[in-house]
């Protein structure tokens, strides 16, 4: 198994989208990329901890490649909006790929260049690509939030 970590706005919908990809074994929502230890959702929502809402994806590379996960990431959100996705505003909603290896970094950077060159996005992509830092698991009620409610997405 391998791990990939993505931030693409509110983690509820992003988690559900990744859960639908064959080869994804497990998803966990949480907080990453900040400087406060053991932040809570309430802490992260202050926009003062530096953390992003993220989905950590455990996947079987024999069934789905990291490249496929990154490609899916670009289609899950608008990577051209800084610290915002839809109605959600704040640094915790930023677009980011947190890499766990040099190979993941290479793939993420190449994919970002391809996505920008594709013409699909009219504005520059603002997605950060940075090393993964300590991951803090979100509270239980956030885990598989949409699936527990029989929903497939949270935006109108």
Residue of 4, 10, 54, 107 marked catalytic = 10
* Contacts with 56 (C-beta within 8 Å, 6 or more apart), sequence order: 3, 4, 5, 27, 28, 29, 30, 32, 135
Active site residue 45: no
Q: What span, in angstroms and rounded, lies between the C-alpha atoms of 86 and 96?
A: 16
Neighbours of 40 (CB within 10 A): 14
Neighbours of 119 (CB within 10 A): 7
Q: What Å distances lie between residue 115 and 81, 87, 110, 144, CA to CA?
A: 15, 24, 9, 28
List residues with catalytic annotation.
10
């Amino acid at each position: 198994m391998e791990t990939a970590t993505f931030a693409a706005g509110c983690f509820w919908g992003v988690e559900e989208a990744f859960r639908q990809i064959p080869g994804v074994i497990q998803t966990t929502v949480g907080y990453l990329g900040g400087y406060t230890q053991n932040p809570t959702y309430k802490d992260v929502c202050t926009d003062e901890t530096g953390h992003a809402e993220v989905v950590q994806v455990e996947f079987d590379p024999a069934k789905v490649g990291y490249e496929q996960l990154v490609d899916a990431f670009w289609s899950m959100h608008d990577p051209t909006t800084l610290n915002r996705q839809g109605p959600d505003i704040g640094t915790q909603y930023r677009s980011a790929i947190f890499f766990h290896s040099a190979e993941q970094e290479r793939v993420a950077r190449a994919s970002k260049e391809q996505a920008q060159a594709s013409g699909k996005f009219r504005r520059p992509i603002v997605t950060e690509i940075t090393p993964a830092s300590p991951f803090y698991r979100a509270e239980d009620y956030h885990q598989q939030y949409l699936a527990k409610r029989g929903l497939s997405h949270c935006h109108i």
